[in-house]
Every structure is written in structure tokens, then in C-alpha cells.
Amino acid sequence: MPMRRLSMRKTKEILRLRWGVGLGVRQIGRSLSISHSTVVDTLRRADAAGLKWPLPASLDDAGLEARLYPGNREYPAGRPEPDWKEIHEELRDDKVTLRLLWTEYKRDHPDGYQYSGFCRRYRQWCGKLDTVLRQTYRPGEKMFVDYAGEKVPVVDPKTGEVRMAEIFVAVLGYSNYAYAEAQWSQELANWIGGHCRALEYMGGAPEILVPDNLKSAVAKPCRYEPDLNPTYQELAGHYGAVVIPARPRHPRDRAKVEAGVQVVERWILAALRHRTFFSLAELNQAIRELLMKLNDAPFQKMEGSRRTLYEMVEKAALKPLPAKRYEFAQWKKARVNIDYHVEVEGSYYSVPHALVKEQVEARYTATTVEILHKGRRVASHPRSYRKGQFVTDPGHRPHSHREYLEWTPERLVRWAEKAGENTGQLVRKIMESKPHPEQGYRSCLGIMRLGKRYGEERLEAASRRALATGAISYRSVKSILENKLDRLPLESPPEARAVGDHPNLRGPSYYSGEGSSHA
């Protein structure tokens, strides 16, 4: 293996320290921070060249190099220079290595650089490239995504209020083909929507999505096992991709997207700095026009542009998009209540009664709510936007409360009566007012918890007032207790006001067990 080539300044210092000062080989190596074998090689070459110390004054650096390395194949004069642009493009293919390219170069140019010199010259050439072009990626391999640090003001034409828009950016790794759009926030729905539109703009999906560690993408940043947002993970699966977030505190992982963000800021946001926008749509139209110019702009250090590299190579390497765009869905973990319903965004959805108290996951879109237990779908309902509404599949209800459930209307009434007759009557009337008594379980349990907080005596007084005023609900009892209205005298007895007729009212026989078979 060829020894390391030294500068002539350091070579002269070796000769001075050895022949002029008399230091040992290892002492010289430590002094100049080089290996002792390099020192030995230099001294051997100097002896073979017949050099003495001090060196002749007429011997310049070029002459010294020629005498020390006569005919050296690694450093020949006038050696042919490889086409580094072509080398760089070839390396984008993961099957091609630098050693293979050097072997081909030496086959065509036997008097060219040795392997170490070839690699060093390539690294030097890469160092002069724009940051966004330095790293090598396979076509269709990665798409980097992030938000720009700079925001754009948008003025409401009616009120004059200024709202700041976020700029979503996506960049393909191989061609640096870029996409950008304005959004109102970095919330999950915008993050997912930005991905869908970016992939459609690219005309295909990459193998890997590389986000920065923002909250919309990664719930818990971790170098080795990032906890991905389930919605983001589902989006990746829909497009046949995998999400591999940039590792925290690893700038090189983020270099491509940060450089892409910087290019967007310079090419697009800087050009828009003096313009006033009155809607997000107007801003996005301006961004789209400048985005075309950015992708068509020629590279400074390479031939072609982002668009030509994308259209000639990368576009064909992307995976085809599915026929249907990903439908935004959110996920929530929940535990099934004793009324065999799960709360999602303020509404309640039924699951099979056997799953009472089990941990489940809710997946909900704009139109549908699905409940999954251990990865298996156990219920599906139309989405409700009415707070407090129960969406119940009759098939989820038990045939007999006594046979299948720990909690029954009869037991809840008996439990409430421990606080007093009025509390028991209130609980009974709450369940009588519901199409299905189970829909009143939550309110009844909430009332019983109020008894633990305020005491059974106060709960009984509050229930008496609620019955007297016809305020038959958990919220009413809670308000009475919070405002200490239970301590005020009643103007009329509890029987003075009736709850009113209800098409689904049940009589005393229901709670004595005679009507439980109809539950």
C-alpha cells in the first residue's frame, strides 16, 4: 500500500529533525503528528535520491518532489482527471461503489490516480457542491418533509386582521425536486394533507418519508425507536412507504430537508416579501408559480435542473399512487364504560357489551367511527357531531342485564338509595328518560361520585331540589352542589313538578326485574 504523501514543507522538516537535530524516527512522528512508517519511507526515499542535509538552496519544492518520487504511479505529472460529475451521478445507483468506478477509471487510464488519491479528489470535488446536492440518494428512495422557519402574513380583507401562514416543504432526495404550500397551522390534519398533496405533485410515492421530529409526525422523539403518530403511520402504509424520522441531534440526517427549506425560503418566500396576500388560496397560487421556476432553475455546479433530473430518472422510480387519496383519520385510546359505549369527541358509540371495561382504540374520520379491540374492528358507526349523543347498535346490547353485566338499572337504583330516597328516585327518573337505560349510566355514576365528594347528606338534598325543579341531570345536581343551593329551603315539595311524559318511560316493574328481558 502506498505511503501517505506529505507536503514538501513537512518532508523538509523530517529531514531537518533527522539529519540536522538527530531525533529518532518515533520522536519525529510524534512531533509532526504522522506515523513512524511515513517517516521511515521519507528517509528511505531521501537516501535513494542521494540527498544530504542541508538541502541545496537551488532545490525548490518541485525539484525535491521529483527526486523523492521519480516515476511514482500515484502522483504522475499530467495525470488524467476523472469526470467527477459523471462519477457523482453513477454513485446514486446503490449497486455502484467508488472502488468500482476507480477500477474502470484505471482500466482506461493506467497512469491515473491511485485509489486513495482518487477518493481524496472526489471528496474535494463534492465539498464544492451546494449542500443540497452533496448527499447521494437512490432515485425514488426518500422524500424529506418539514415546515419552513419563516411564516407569511395573510390579511383578512374584512377585518384587517393579520394571520401568519405556515409553509410546508417536501423535497425528493435524488433529484431535489421540491414542493411547498401554505397552511394555517402545523396541526395533524394540515401535516397529513400536505403529504397527500405533495405526493400527488410528485406523481408517485417514495420508499421512505423522512420528517423532522415535530409533534405532528412523532409523538415521542427517540433516536432508536421513535413513537410515530398512528395517523402518520397509517398514511405511510396507504402509499406503500415507511416513515424513518431524522434522528435527534444528527444534523446530517436533516441536511437535505433543511437545505430544501432554505432554497424555498430564498427562491419563494424572499420573492414574496413585499407582496400582500388576502387569502390562503392567493398565497398558494403565488407559491405554485415560483415553485415552477425553482424546479426549472439550472444547477450551478451540475448540468440540468431539479425538473430534468426528476423527469429523466426519479419519476419512474417512484411507486404509483393508489386510486384513492388517503382519508384523514384520527386515533384515540379509550376504555369501554359500563354502558358499553366509548366517548369520541363528545359523542358516545356502542361496542359489543362483552367488552365492558376493556381497552380499545377508536379510529375516526369525517364520516365514520370505527372501534378496534386488539387490532380487530369490533364496531363501526356513522360519525355524530352532536355533543352527548349516543350512537348505538342494537346488536351490541345484552339480552339480559343480570346475565351479562355487573351493572343493572336495578342495582344502580339500590346503590343510589343508600344516599337517600330522593337520590334513588333521581337516578330512576334519569334512566327512565333515556331510550335505553344504559345511556343514563354515565350520569348516574357521576351523581354517585358527587356523593363521595360532597357527602351523601348534601347529595340527598341536592337530589330533592333537582326533582322539585324538574332538573333531572348530572349537570344540574353538580351545579346545585357547587353553588350550595342544596342548603336553601324549597318553595314547593318534590311532587310539585313532574318530569313529563316520555315515549320510552318505564314503570316500577322494570326495576323489579319483570321488564329486564326487554332491555
pLDDT in tens, 71-120: 654 444 456 778 777 777 777 665 678 888 888 888 777 778 888 888 88
Q: Which three cell numbers stand for residue 323?
A: 386510486
pLDDT at 362 over 80: yes
Strand, coil or helix: 267: helix
- Residue 348 belongs to what H/E stretch? strand 347-350
135 located within any domain:
no
Q: Taking the CB of residue 202, how many other CB atoms lie within 10 A of it?
A: 22
**DSSP 8-state assignment for residue 494:** G
**Identity of the amino acid at 483:** N
**pLDDT digit string (tens) for 178-207?**
999 999 999 889 999 999 999 999 999 999
What gap in Å lies between CA 453 and CA 448, rounded to an integer? Answer: 9
* Residue scoring higher pLDDT (249 or 128): 128
Are residues 222 and 110 located together in one domain of the fold? no
Are residues 375 and 414 located together in one domain of the fold? no
Are residues 25 and 107 located together in one domain of the fold? no
Calculate Rg over the CA atoms of the chain: 38
122 located within any domain:
yes
Average pLDDT over the chain, rounded to an integer: 81
Are residues 203 and 230 located together in one domain of the fold? yes
8 A C-beta contact, residue 287 and residue 175? no
Residue 436 pLDDT grade (very low, low, confident, very high; cuts 50, 70, 90): low
* pLDDT at 90 (0 to 100): 75
Q: Which three cell numbers stand for residue 319?
A: 411507486
pLDDT at 32 over 80: no
Phi, psi of 279 (to 5 degrees): -160, 160
Q: Which three cell numbers stand for residue 99?
A: 472502488
322 located within any domain:
no
Q: Taking the CB of residue 220, how many other CB atoms lie within 10 A of it?
A: 11
Are residues 390 and 513 located together in one domain of the fold? no
Are residues 306 and 161 located together in one domain of the fold? yes
What gap in Å lies between CA 137 and CA 252, rounded to an integer? Answer: 13
Are residues 388 and 432 located together in one domain of the fold? no
Mean pLDDT for 119-127 is 77
Residue in 513, 327, 323 with CA at minimum distance from that of residue 403: 513
pLDDT at 478 over 80: yes
Q: What is the CATH number of the domain that holds 307?
A: 3.30.420.10
Quote the percentage of the chain above a pLDDT of 70: 80
Instruction: Quote the pTM value.
Output: 0.56
Residue 128 pLDDT grade (very low, low, confident, very high; cuts 50, 70, 90): low
Are residues 160 and 295 located together in one domain of the fold? yes
Residue 322 pLDDT grade (very low, low, confident, very high; cuts 50, 70, 90): very high
Name every residue whose Cβ is closer than 8 Å to that of residue 147 and which is 6 or more positions away in sequence.
166, 167, 168, 169, 186, 214, 261
Total count of domains within the chain: 5
8 A C-beta contact, residue 214 and residue 147? yes
* Residue scoring higher pLDDT (441 or 181): 181
Q: Which three cell numbers stand for residue 214?
A: 415535530
Q: What is the CATH number of the domain that holds 19?
A: 1.10.10
Mean pLDDT comparison of 57-71, 203-217, 472-486, highest-scoring range: 472-486
504 located within any domain:
yes
Name every residue whose Cβ is closer than 8 Å to that of residue 39 and which is 6 or more positions away in sequence.
14, 18, 25, 28, 29, 32
* pLDDT at 304 (0 to 100): 85
Are residues 347 and 224 located together in one domain of the fold? no
**pLDDT digit string (tens) for 375-429?**
899 999 999 999 888 898 988 877 654 344 456 677 778 888 888 888 888 888 8
* Residue scoring higher pLDDT (281 or 504): 281
Are residues 230 and 285 located together in one domain of the fold? yes
Q: Domain range holding 18?
A: 8-68
* pLDDT at 255 (0 to 100): 57
8 A C-beta contact, residue 168 and residue 183? yes
Domain boundary pick from 284, 317, 350: 317
What gap in Å lies between CA 319 and CA 199, rounded to an integer? Answer: 10
496 located within any domain:
yes
463 located within any domain:
yes
Domain boundary pick from 396, 412, 428: 396
Q: Which three cell numbers stand for residue 517?
A: 328481558
What gap in Å lies between CA 51 and CA 61, rounded to an integer? Answer: 14
Are residues 376 and 244 located together in one domain of the fold? no
* Residue scoring higher pLDDT (482 or 494): 482
Are residues 184 and 304 located together in one domain of the fold? yes
